[in-house]
Amino acid sequence: MASAETGVAEWREGHSLPQSFYTSGMTFNADMEMLSTSQWLLVDHESRIAKPGDYFLFEFGAESVIVIRNRSGDVNAFFNVCRHRGSRICLENEGNKRVLTCPYHSWSYDLNGKLRGAHLMPSDFDPTNVALAPAHVRVFEGLIFLNFMKGTPPDFDAFCAPFGALLRGQGLASAKIAARKLYPTAANWKLVVENFFECYHCNSAHPTYCSVHDKMKMLAFGAGAGSGDDQDTILYQEKLKRWEEHSEGLGYPVGMFADNAESVYFRSGNRLPIADDAKTESLDGKPLAPLMTEFGVFDGGQTGCVFNPIGTVLVNNDHAVIFHFIPKSAHQTDVEAIWLVAPHAVEGQDYQPADLMRVWDVTLGEDKTITENNQLGVNSARYQPGRYSTQERRIAEFAKWYMEAVSARPQAL
């Protein structure tokens, strides 16, 4: 078994990671630190907290963060830690608060985190200097991002810049949440990521997903930009170009990019057609909800935006799906999907949540099983890192990106 310390030296490019990276608690803790300080974490859509006082908790490692809308309509984020003696303040996962009152000794804070009340404090105690510790929070296209850096966070505008053009006009900012579902997965977060960014397993694991998507596209870009075999990518170019010309004619943006392993981020973005004659990502290609875009017509495209390895959004013409993976321990990851529709869409009339969820609910259920089996095999004393195929190019790049990040840690794990 590889120890965490020897893991970096043991890893060979083009191969999956040495065992300890998928099993070690120490590596897991360092991963959480790396992700929460170097990345902007996608945590939810702001329609979840539409009204002043609406909040939800984002749990990440040892941290719990209160994400709350204040009276001016801004989204604030505070570490869920009382400034008196450190108790958790909000205990419910979501809700609405006029003030944030600690359950321990009733110190209370306003929606901007300022201390409002603390009884029986000594006369030299100055409440005006006391406030909840903020987390860095930003909103882009309705998506809420957090960063836990103690000092200056990464430049958010630069981080978002490549996504702006690809998401133009598709209604993501004004969308509303229609459904959400958690898929707790007994696997390390990196196995979840590796599974999500390759379509080498699609044929054997995902009959439903394969019936929905164009076969040539799945070989070329099954898991987004940079994920497919070179030859298949070339073969698909002509078809893609024809579709792009058609989409641009309708007013839609087109394009594709992917960060490489040398980038601090692991972003990628693309607009791709779902399948011939498909208007959206549904079993029969027919719309599942009213059009979300400003172009007045379907182009059947899907905008994929990967903000980091654990946060992605797929935007179809009539609905979008946020995917985020919340690492819970070295052997456990919460996969959550959040489905969004146009703000005026009426449940039961304009869309049925079960229909909206079907393709990804089936697919994520299948992914949970194969990823858990992957972890069980990786736990074995006989596990050895294996070679990635030409349809796993994006995760070969992810492994490289991750090892770059590990090597940059103060003490390489």
Instruction: List the Cα angle 225/389/12 in 5-degree steps.
Output: 100
Contacting residues toward ligand FES, per CB under 6 A: 82, 84-87, 102, 104-107
Distance CA 291, CA 295 (A): 9
Nearest CB to ligand FES, comparing residues 86 and 184? 86
* Alpha helices (H) along 132-229: 156-167, 189-196, 202-205, 207-212, 215-221
The nearest distance, CB 107 to ligand FES, in angstroms, is 4
Select from 95-103, 162-170, 359-367, 392-400 the region that touches Fe ion (CB under 5 A). Answer: 359-367
| Residue 104 interacts with which of ligand FES, Fe ion, none, CB < 5 to 8 Å by class | ligand FES
Nearest CB to ligand FES, comparing residues 104 and 234? 104
Q: Which amino acid is at 53?
A: G
Nearest CB to ligand FES, comparing residues 114 and 239? 114
Q: Applying CB under 5 A, what is the total number of residues that bind Fe ion?
A: 1
Q: Report the b/e string of 212-224 with b at 16+ CB within 10 A.
A: bbbebbbbbbbbb
The nearest distance, CB 114 to ligand FES, in angstroms, is 15
The nearest distance, CB 195 to Fe ion, in angstroms, is 6
Distance CA 388, CA 157 (A): 34
| Residue 32 interacts with which of ligand FES, Fe ion, none, CB < 5 to 8 Å by class | none
The nearest distance, CB 363 to Fe ion, in angstroms, is 6
Could you write out the DSSP letters of every residue in 114-135? Answer: BEEE-TT--TT--GGG-BPPBP
Q: Which residue is nearest to Fe ion (CB)?
A: 367
Contact between 244 and Fe ion per CB under 5 A: no
| Residue 85 interacts with which of ligand FES, Fe ion, none, CB < 5 to 8 Å by class | ligand FES
Sheet with 41-45, strands from edge to edge, namely 41-45, 143-147, 136-140
Contacts of 41 (CB under 8 A, 6+ apart): 35, 58, 60, 145, 146, 147, 308, 310, 311, 324
Contacts of 194 (CB under 8 A, 6+ apart): 16, 392, 395, 398, 399
| Residue 82 interacts with which of ligand FES, Fe ion, none, CB < 5 to 8 Å by class | ligand FES
Nearest CB to ligand FES, comparing residues 32 and 82? 82
The nearest distance, CB 104 to ligand FES, in angstroms, is 4
Distance CA 299, CA 317 (A): 7
- In 3D space, the residue among 331, 325, 315 whose CA is nearest the CA of residue 22 turns out to be 331
Nearest CB to Fe ion, comparing residues 210 and 216? 210
The nearest distance, CB 223 to Fe ion, in angstroms, is 8
The residue to which tokens 């110190």 are assigned: 107
| Residue 367 interacts with which of Fe ion, ligand FES, none, CB < 5 to 8 Å by class | Fe ion
Distance CA 58, CA 46 (A): 13
Q: Report the b/e string of 32-54 with b at 16+ CB within 10 A.
A: bebbbebbbbbbbbbbbbeebbb
Distance CA 137, CA 68 (A): 10
| Residue 84 interacts with which of Fe ion, ligand FES, none, CB < 5 to 8 Å by class | ligand FES
Nearest CB to Fe ion, comparing residues 336 and 367? 367
Dihedral of the alpha carbons of 400, 407, 195, 304, in degrees to the nearest 10: -70
The nearest distance, CB 367 to Fe ion, in angstroms, is 4
The nearest distance, CB 84 to ligand FES, in angstroms, is 3
Nearest CB to ligand FES, comparing residues 82 and 413? 82
Select from 55-63, 215-223, 316-324, 363-371 the region that touches Fe ion (CB under 5 A). Answer: 363-371
CB 347 within 8 A of CB 356: no
Nearest CB to Fe ion, comparing residues 214 and 367? 367
> Which of 244, 299, 367, 392 is close enough to bind Fe ion by CB under 5 A?
367
The nearest distance, CB 121 to ligand FES, in angstroms, is 11
Nearest CB to ligand FES, comparing residues 133 and 250? 133
Point out which residues bind Fe ion (CB under 5 A).
Answer: 367
